């Protein structure tokens, strides 16, 4: 393994770590952000020759918009301003990384790391279910309580009884897992997923998604499967494989609507304080806030946003897209979506809309838009334009010296 490959793995791992793990995001947020930024800066300084002007413009617009929102729209507040600086450092770190590494290498390293995280998380979760390991109570800086074992999160003071891996909740973990599948969307749907141990990695990731017991995760995985079927090129050679995939999808739909997670949530609709009602109240409140201030919102992380949220019943800002419109306004979201669509089109020319819609669904389930993994497409290098729909890396290349790429 070359030094470059080690560095590539390191920065990809750091992107995973600072994108919602309890250890980095909740317990050591400021330190993790600084480390991520400095490592990504060193990575770019060592290997990057030139930055793409369009991606630099995206970063400038994003940073200026957040700063203007914190200072002028929401009224200057130290806590909000520090949060915005953290968001900008995270975006800048993601920019350095994605402008330096090829998308092809990034998604391969991401798949391997996600597979490892999923496998260890599943094993630890099963051991916990069998009472073979004991959890440690960890207190956060805001008196928040986590049940942890080996960096894995098992609950907030009480067990989730769902798989969250090292992330702050199962809903975030499903975004991480489904993203690994989405990065190989075309290869999987065309039965050209030829990475080493690819099928095993895919199976482990799917099992982990099921074990999150996240309704949003089930729906997102279902949409990915539907999109994959729509993208399939059905021939005599792959007809049986396609037929099996469709049967599995039908079985998956049946499992979804009959699962304990889904039926319990549907049976407890209207029960105050339950997940469905909390999300419903969040959405209605943020829609109302967006309607009241549609252009620029209430200001990112502002005191006015927090006050209005309490008054209207927004407890957790559980919809990431509405959290953006209610704080930063529709102008910011439209600019972001326009830039994102163009960036996705750069990599997935044949099925841009499908991938774009899946990405939006992932963003709608959690406030994830400010974390580094949300910038993968936005900041990826322009010259990788055709890599995603061509299976150009052979097993010999990806398992050997990456310096040739």
Q: Is 390 helix (H, G, I), strand (E, B) or coil?
A: coil
Q: What residue ranges in 12-135 does DSSP mark as E strands? A: none
Residue 115 in this model has a pLDDT that exceeds 50: yes
Residue 402 in this model has a pLDDT that exceeds 50: no
The pTM is what?
A: 0.87
- Measure the CA–CA gap between 93 and 4, rounded to whole angstroms: 18
Mean pLDDT of 375-399: 56
pLDDT score for 267: 55
Q: Sorting pLDDT into bands at 50, 70 and 90, what band is 96?
A: very high
- Residue whose structure tokens are 């419109």: 325
pLDDT score for 130: 92
* Strands of 136-139's sheet in order across: 136-139, 145-149, 152-155
Per the prediction, the chain carries an average pLDDT of 83
224-239 per-position pLDDT tens digit: 777 777 766 666 666 6
Exposure b/e, 336-368, CB count within 10 A at least 16 = b: bbebbbebbbbbbeebbebbbebbebbbbbbbb
Phi, psi of 185 (to 5 degrees): -55, -50
Q: 24-38, 84-98, 386-400: which range is least confident on average? A: 386-400
From the CA atom positions of the chain, what is the Rg in Å? Answer: 21
Residue 8 in this model has a pLDDT that exceeds 80: yes
pLDDT score for 228: 72
- Measure the CA–CA gap between 186 and 174, rounded to whole angstroms: 20
Name which residue leads in pLDDT, 76 or 238.
Answer: 76
- Measure the CA–CA gap between 99 and 48, rounded to whole angstroms: 7
Sequence-distant (≥ 6) Cβ neighbours of residue 53 within 8 angstroms? none
Name which residue leads in pLDDT, 72 or 389.
Answer: 72
- Measure the CA–CA gap between 5 and 47, rounded to whole angstroms: 12
Q: 91-100, 140-149, 342-351: which range is least confident on average? A: 342-351
258-312 per-position pLDDT tens digit: 666 656 655 555 555 556 778 888 899 999 999 999 999 999 988 899 999 999 9
pLDDT score for 263: 61
The string of DSSP letters for 340-372 reads HHHHHHHH-TTSHHHHHHHHHHHHHHSS-TTSG
Q: Sorting pLDDT into bands at 50, 70 and 90, what band is 252?
A: low
* Cα separation values, 260 from 108, 191, 213, 247, 263, Å: 34, 32, 9, 22, 5
Q: 246-250, 285-289, 364-368: which range is least confident on average? A: 246-250
- Measure the CA–CA gap between 148 and 158, rounded to whole angstroms: 11
Q: Is 147 helix (H, G, I), strand (E, B) or coil?
A: strand
Sequence-distant (≥ 6) Cβ neighbours of residue 300 within 8 angstroms? 66, 69, 70, 73, 74, 80, 83, 84, 327, 328
pLDDT score for 355: 82
Q: What angle do CA 51, 83, 21 make, to 5 degrees?
A: 80
Exposure b/e, 76-89, CB count within 10 A at least 16 = b: ebeebbebbbbbbb
């Amino acid at each position: 393994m070359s030094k470059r490959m080690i560095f590539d793995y390191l920065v990809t791992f750091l992107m995973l770590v600072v994108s919602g793990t309890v250890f980095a995001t909740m317990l050591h947020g400021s330190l993790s952000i600084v480390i991520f930024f400095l490592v990504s800066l060193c990575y770019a300084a060592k290997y990057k020759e030139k930055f793409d002007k369009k991606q630099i413009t995206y970063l400038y617009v994003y940073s200026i918009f957040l700063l203007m929102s914190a200072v002028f729209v929401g009224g200057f507040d130290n806590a909000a301003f520090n949060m915005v600086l953290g968001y900008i450092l995270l975006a800048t770190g993601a920019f350095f990384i994605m402008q330096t590494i090829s998308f092809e290498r990034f998604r391969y390293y991401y798949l391997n790391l996600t597979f490892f995280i999923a496998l260890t998380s599943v094993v630890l979760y099963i051991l916990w279910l069998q009472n073979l390991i004991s959890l440690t109570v960890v207190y956060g800086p805001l008196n928040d309580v986590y049940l942890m074992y080996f960096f894995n999160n098992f609950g907030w003071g009480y067990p989730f009884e769902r798989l969250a891996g090292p992330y702050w909740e199962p809903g975030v973990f499903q975004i991480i897992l489904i993203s690994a599948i989405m990065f190989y969307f075309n290869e999987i749907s065309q039965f050209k997923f030829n990475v080493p141990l690819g099928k095993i990695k895919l199976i482990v990731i799917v099992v982990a998604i099921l074990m999150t017991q996240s309704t949003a995760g089930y729906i997102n995985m279902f949409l990915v499967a539907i999109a994959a079927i729509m993208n399939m090129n059905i021939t005599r050679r792959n007809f049986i494989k396609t037929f099996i995939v469709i049967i599995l999808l039908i079985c998956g739909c049946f499992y979804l609507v009959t699962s304990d997670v889904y039926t319990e949530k549907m049976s407890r609709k209207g029960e105050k304080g339950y997940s469905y009602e909390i999300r419903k109240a969040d959405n209605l409140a943020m829609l109302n806030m967006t309607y009241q201030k549609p252009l620029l919102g209430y200001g990112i992380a502002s005191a006015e946003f927090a006050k209005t949220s309490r008054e209207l019943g927004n407890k957790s800002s559980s919809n990431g897209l509405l959290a953006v419109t209610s704080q930063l306004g529709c102008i910011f979201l439209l600019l972001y979506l326009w830039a994102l669509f163009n960036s996705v089109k750069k990599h997935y020319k044949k099925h841009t809309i499908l991938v774009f819609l899946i990405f939006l669904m992932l963003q709608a389930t959690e406030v994830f838009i400010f974390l580094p993994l949300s910038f993968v497409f936005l900041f990826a290098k322009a010259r990788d334009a055709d890599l995603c729909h061509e299976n150009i890396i052979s097993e010999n290349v990806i398992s050997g010296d990456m310096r040739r790429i």
